[in-house]
Amino acid sequence: MRGVFVTGTGTEVGKTVVAAAIARTLAADGESVAVFKPAVTGLNDLPPADGPKKGAGVDFSAHRPDHEILRTAAGSNQPDEEIAPYRYGPPASPHLAAAMADEEIDPRRLLAGARAAAARADAIVCEGVGGLLVPLVGDYLVRDLTADLGLPIVVAASPGLGTINHTLLTLEAARGAGLAVEYVVLTPWPAAPTAIEKSNRETIAALGKVRVETLPPLDLADPRSWPRLPASLRRD
Ligand SMILES: Nc1ncnc2c1ncn2[C@@H]1O[C@H](COP(=O)(O)OP(=O)(O)OP(=O)(O)O)[C@@H](O)[C@H]1O
Ligand SMILES: [Mg+2]
């Protein structure tokens, strides 16, 4: 399987934006790109699909479900079920959201789904759920799925205070499980970063022994305007 698994230091740290930018970079190079997210939760919190996309200075595209944003960025025509096999309304951890729906997430279904999607494309870009140690079912964590898929990871993280600890913890958890780390992305990276933000970038690179990229604030409604993110994905 050729691709990347975008994880993050936690929830709401920019995983979707980073995964979308990588998918867009590959698609712009003429590659067919599949996207995948093991589970999407919190669908109840989103505005209805036929609601306004833009208005009153608010960009509603940021409030579309992750699988829709990923599909658009990749230029993919995959159905919802293929991108995100498990989709739930409550904004809960996937293991809990599944239990609330009287279901259990089946890792074999996730692995088969991701492999099938990857087989139909040149590359696959996966987005995790929360951070690496989020449970999918029982003691099977997002990190286990990442390892079973055999994909290298990209870590989305915030630029500001607290990010050194969160990012180094994530790198340690990843490497401890044998995951290959491609790079960290600090997002959204301001046009005029503060001394703290610049220092965070250097400290994460030095102490984490990792490449650190940055992503400026994007117009999420216009993928053509996005900068490229490295997508030199290894082949098995
Ligand atoms: N470079 C960026 N440009 C514009 N918005 C950004 C950028 N990075 C992060 N954001 C914003 O930060 C918020 C969180 O980003 P995102 O949805 O990608 O996080 P996530 O880690 O995928 O969250 P979740 O855990 O819910 O999947 C969103 O509102 C997103 O639009
Ligand atoms: Mg997301």
Token pair recorded at residue 171:
């790198």
- Percentage of the chain beyond pLDDT 70 is 92
Confirm whether 37 is a catalytic residue: yes
- Percentage of the chain beyond pLDDT 90 is 86
Question: Which residues touch 227 (CB under 8 Å, ≥6 apart)?
Answer: 21, 215, 216
CA 66–ligand 2 middle distance (angstroms): 5
Among 153, 154, 159, smallest CA distance to 202 is for 159
Question: Taking CB atoms and a 6 Å cutoff, what residues make up the pocket around ligand 1?
Answer: 8, 11-17, 62, 66, 130, 156, 187-188, 215, 217-218, 220
pLDDT tens readout for residues 116-131:
999 999 999 999 999 9
Tally of CB atoms within 10 A around 128? 26
Contact 204, 158 (CB under 8 A): no
pLDDT above 90 for 16: yes
Token pair recorded at residue 232:
């030199």
Q: Which residues surround ligand 2, an ion (CB under 5 A)?
A: 15-16, 66
User: Helix or strand or coil: residue 97?
Assistant: helix
Of 15, 37, 198, 209, the active-site residue reads 37
Q: Given pLDDT bands bounded at 50, 70 and 90, which one contains residue 50?
A: low
